[in-house]
Structures are given as structure tokens and as C-alpha cells.
A = this chain, B = another copy of it.
């Protein structure tokens, strides 16, 4: 069966791909807004892992709504969640099985059982989250043994997650200070291959 897995080039979505590859015909799907070309880093990572890759562009309204929400909230959680759900809707229209890298201990994005069942019922797909039964320790061990990664602060590690473009959108509308106010400094990781 054809599985579209939302992919950011990060550890969680990469490890999810490895968990599913024996069971589905997996395509890695990076959703973006056309604001930057950072989705190309995700394509590079997908190639290094040996998976098919497609990028899909979400509409500008989704980016604007999320940027406004993040700017108002002062933190990115709810805005990122909105974008993730919009991306799942797009992927659900194209594949038999849709998947993402959400983990047991994730705060965002999360996909509740109700959201999962709604996606499945409306689109006639199955939604699978292969890491949702794995905690941080188990995931760290599997990443260590199966992936090669590079890491650093958000500003320097370029990958294909929603954050980069939302930061850019917020910067263009409200300036660099607004970005720094809403996005805490945190370590980002990009996957560079198996190993």
C-alpha cells in the first residue's frame, strides 16, 4: 500500500520512515508554503535515506493564520499544530495510508485519537503514527544506531519543517524581535543518512 509520511528531515520523521519501510511503499512528503526553498533540504535528506520524495505546497492562508496565531500567543505550539493538521488533510487526499513522526512524549504536533479517526473516516485512509508508542529514551537509542544526524541551534540547521518558514513569515510581518519572542532557542537536528 502507498503510504505518504509527513517528513521534515528531522529524527522523528526519519525514524518513522525506517519503521514503516518493510510494511508500506513509503513516500516522504514535505509540506511547505513556498516562502523559502528549505524544503529542498528535506529532499536531500530523503535521498540520503533512500526514499521517494514529494513536496506539497500548502495555501498562503494556512501560513498566515499560523503566523498570526503564533505572534498572538507568543509561542509556536498552536500555530504549528494548525499547520500539521492542514498538511495531514492534503496528504490524506493522495495516499492509502498517511503517517507522521509524532512521538509518545510530543507536546506538539499531536494527533489525538479523535483527529485520527476523523481523518480516516473522511478520507477513507488509515493514519499511522509509528513512534507514538515510543518514549524519548527508546527513540534516542534507535536514532543513534540507525541514523546519522547533524545538530545545532534553529537558526543554523536548515531542514524542511514548518518552523523555518513560519519564522520567516513572522519576520517579514513583524520583524526579527517578534521571531525571537515567539520561538524559544532550541537545538534542531537534521538527518543526513543512515548509519
Contact = CB atoms under 8 A, between A and B. Distances in A.
Interface of A: 1, 18-19, 22-23, 97, 102, 104-105, 113, 116-117, 120, 126-135, 137-138, 141-142, 146
Given A23-B142, A113-B104, A120 B135 contact: yes
Given A18-B22, A104-B116, 4 more contacts: A23-B146, A104-B132, A117-B135, A132-B133
A135 B127 contact: yes
What is the count of identical protomers in the complex? Answer: 2
A122 to B, nearest CB: 13
Contacts of A23: 19, 142, 146
Contacts of A130: 19, 130, 133-134
A131 B129 CA distance: 9
A22 B20 CA distance: 11
Nearest to A105: B113
Contacts of A97: 138
Contact of A133 (B1, B117, B131, B135): B131
Contact of A137 (B19, B126, B132, B142): B126
Contacts of A127: 135, 138
Contacts of A105: 113
Contact of A19 (B19, B102, B126, B138): B19
Contacts of A116: 104, 135
B141 A1 contact: yes
Given A23-B146, A113-B104, A142-B23, A132 B132 contact: yes
Contact of A138 (B126, B137, B142): B126
